[in-house]
Amino acid sequence: MAQDSTVMIHGSAWKRADIADAVADCRSHQWRREPWVCRDALVQRTGTTSLFVGQRYDPEFYEMVRGGWRHDHCEVCWWTLAEGGDEEHSIGYTDGRRWICRECYHQFIETQAL
Ligand SMILES: [Zn+2]
């Protein structure tokens, strides 16, 4: 049945097959509920931004910007998580590096159902 092959996330229909790999990967990690807050970023002179997690960098090519990492995306549905605002966007689950939104966590990680 078509209904069985789709799942609703934030009001949008997703094919279960399209998110199965991401969900399986996320289940192998430990997640904790946290408010999303801005973190430091390394901004390459060419414009590419990476999360700063204490790695060494060459200041000739990179600039470290305090609080410059302003959002993340849910590993499963690409929902935007950012600081402040409503809890749907500002609270998620993290493994310390990556994030998943509350809806995906409750639907796929907590319940182990897909
Ligand atoms: Zn999600």
User: What pLDDT does 113 receive?
Assistant: 58
Residue 102 has pLDDT above 60, yes or no: yes
What's the pTM value of the predicted model, to 2 decimals?
0.86
Gap between the Cα atoms of 98 and 111, Å rounded: 20
Report the separation in Å between the CA atom of 37 and the middle of ligand 1, taken as the mean of its atom positions: 17
- What percent of the chain clears pLDDT 70, i.e. is strictly above it? 95
Q: What is the pLDDT of residues 18-27, one digit of tens each?
A: 999 999 999 9
Measured in angstroms, how far is the CA atom of residue 47 from the centroid of ligand 1? 27
pLDDT band, residue 114 (cuts 50/70/90)? low
Residue 66 contacts residue 40 (beta carbons within 8 Å): yes
What pLDDT is attached to residue 12? 96
CB burial class (10 A; 0-12, 13-18, 19+) of residue 99? buried
Residue-wise burial string across 13-22, b where 16 or more C-beta atoms lie within 10 A, e elsewhere: ebeeeebeeb
pLDDT digits (tens, 9 = 90+) for 41-95: 999 999 899 999 999 999 999 999 999 999 999 999 999 999 998 999 999 999 9
Cβ count near 84 (within 10 Å): 10
Q: How far is the CA of 98 from the centre of ligand 1 (A)?
A: 12
The confidence score (pLDDT) of residue 1 equals 46
The count of domains in the chain is 1
Domain that holds residue 83: 2-110
Residue 70 is given by DSSP the state -
pLDDT over 90 percentage in the chain: 88
Q: How far is the CA of 46 from the centre of ligand 1 (A)?
A: 30
